[in-house]
Structure 1
Amino acid sequence: MKHVRMHPFPLVFATISGAHLYGFPSPDSDFDLRGVHLLPLSTVLGLDGGRETVEKEGIYDELEIDLVTHDAAKFFKLMLRRNGYVLEQIFSPLVVSTTPEHDELKTIAADCITRHHAHHYLGFAATQWRLFHKESPPRVKPLLYVFRVLLTGIHLMRTGVVEANLGTLNEDARLSYLDDLMRQKLEGPEKATLASADLAFYESEYQRLIAALEAEYDRSQLPELPSARDALNDLLVRLRMKSHEVASE
């Protein structure tokens, strides 16, 4: 993809996130690309620090692209927090650019998963629920995001596996109303409003899934803390040295 090839720094990986990853892109949805870039060794050793985050938007190959990448050091630090976004980006099956280090990162990321990632999904669901209630008429997208993150969190607490696709998650959850909501989003515009809105029903389902995620958090056997710091540090050093050696050739 041209947008990725034009990135100013080498990429460790770039994957597709957003509605395409979640399984409900509208025909006019843009493509959200997320990933990790690598700043030069000379830059990170200096006082300026370099561009920790690179954001690029544009239309390339007739596709609307939103690309956001973080330098490896910043991204790795996010992995050591209860940040579900970065884990979803690493494990996204929609890969645009990859390296052997990306595969290594997937292995290391498994040791970053803790039971406290439940708080990330609870917090994001609450934010999207407020957005859903604020808009009139209500939109399909924030409601789908609410249910997607709650089911992702429940699945993570139960299995230790990051799964962001709502269709896949619903194979276990079997919530028929999600199939209808996804169909509305898939067939309509990005800002589609609900064809019909039984707000009391969605409120009850929101509260039920919140309670379910909290219960899974309480009984989760996942670790309290990540154990991947040393492995991430080692990978970062090797990435910096490798990049410097390539640049010196």
Structure 2
Amino acid sequence: MTRTLIPEVDLSAVVAEQADPLVFATVSGAHLYGFPSRDSDVDLRGAHLLPAADLIGLREPEETRSRMWDRDGVEMDLVTHDLRKFVLLMLRRNGYVLEQLLSPLVVHTTEAHAELVSLAPRVLTRHHAHHYRGFATTQWRLFERTGELKPLLYTFRALLTGIHVMRAGEVQAHLPTLVGEVPEAPAHLPGLVEAKAAAEHGPADVDRERVRGDVGTLHTVLDAAQEASSLADTPAAGTHDALHDFLVRTRTGTGTGPGAGPDRT
């Protein structure tokens, strides 16, 4: 795993400012998807580790922390979940959290992060297609309403990621890579990626009927890929117990955790 460098932003300082230790922090969003623009915000995602006292007392634990702010002229969008909630989301066929966990744009990592990455393939099922199908549908509706390029690229990215997951059994969120991995990817996508680099919220200069046909074709391809997928209907046997054991060891400090082993920020 490698660390990403976002111009003019010290992301390691952002990690150090968090109230509780982070198991990991990665960059998601347009930077992960391969089509950031000059004015893209930085989507920082991860998992934090609440102390046990916060979970067993009367106060509601702060399982999810979300903050948006300007840092050194760059808009920052930070969302982290307590590790237990993050693991539960992994078990709920949530492709989004898997993309965050497996992002190669690593800002902060630990031995617990590495162990969780090793467990991630065990939660993948053919039902993750529903996540990508639903996300693509939502983004397509946004494109039809606004005509902006960003939701159109998000639509294509989601469908191609879903197809790749069903065929290869691995999560790949980088659109330029997916164009080369999925033969049915429309040939005009690299041009749209290049256009997106100029502005975060610019209009899409496309033939709407053409892209509507492209999106419809990819939905059909995703349906077929799900039907033919070698992925199982449920996580691999023993996955729930393995994740439970991982969570207990990490929370109690009896095994790998945010403080175990060298910090690889």
Same fold, TM-score > 0.5, yes or no: yes
SS in 2 for 1:36: strand
Paired with 2:141 and 2:117, the residues of 1 have a C-alpha distance of 33
Give 1:3's aligned residue: 14
TM-score, length of structure 1 as denominator length: 0.93
Task: Check if 1:222 corresponds to 2:220.
Answer: no
RMSD: 1.7
8 Å Cα contact 2:22/2:258 also seen in 1 = no
**Structure 1: runs of 5 or more not aligned:** none
User: Mean alpha-carbon deviation: is it higher for 58-67 or for 158-167?
Assistant: 58-67
Alpha-carbon distance change, 120 to 77 in structure 1, aligned in 2, over 3 angstroms: same
TM-score, length of structure 2 as denominator length: 0.88
Alpha-carbon distance change, 64 to 246 in structure 1, aligned in 2, over 3 angstroms: closer
Paired with 1:134 and 1:193, the residues of 2 have a C-alpha distance of 11
Paired with 2:130 and 2:258, the residues of 1 have a C-alpha distance of 41
Quote the sequence identity (%): 50
Give 2:37's aligned residue: 26
| Bigger helix fraction | 1
8 Å Cα contact 1:87/1:162 also seen in 2 = yes
1:214 CA displacement: 0.3
Paired with 1:95 and 1:39, the residues of 2 have a C-alpha distance of 21
8 Å Cα contact 2:23/2:258 also seen in 1 = no
1:61 CA displacement: 4.4
Give 2:263's aligned residue: none
1:236 counterpart (229, 233, 247): 247
Give 1:59's aligned residue: 70
Task: Check if 1:149 corresponds to 2:158.
Answer: yes
1:178 counterpart (164, 173, 189): 189
Q: Deviations over 1:33-84 (max 9, x none)?
A: 1100000011111122410001122233443211100001111000001110
Paired with 2:258 and 2:243, the residues of 1 have a C-alpha distance of 21
Paired with 2:74 and 2:163, the residues of 1 have a C-alpha distance of 33
**Structure 2: runs of 5 or more not aligned:** 1-10, 260-265
User: Mean alpha-carbon deviation: is it higher for 233-242 or for 148-157?
Assistant: 233-242
8 Å Cα contact 1:128/1:146 also seen in 2 = yes
1:191 counterpart (201, 220, 232): 201
Alpha-carbon distance change, 246 to 130 in structure 1, aligned in 2, over 3 angstroms: closer
Task: Check if 1:14 corresponds to 2:35.
Answer: no
Alpha-carbon distance change, 52 to 46 in structure 1, aligned in 2, over 3 angstroms: same
Paired with 2:134 and 2:231, the residues of 1 have a C-alpha distance of 19
What amino acid maps onto 1:201 in structure 2?
R
Paired with 1:220 and 1:179, the residues of 2 have a C-alpha distance of 27
8 Å Cα contact 1:34/1:68 also seen in 2 = yes
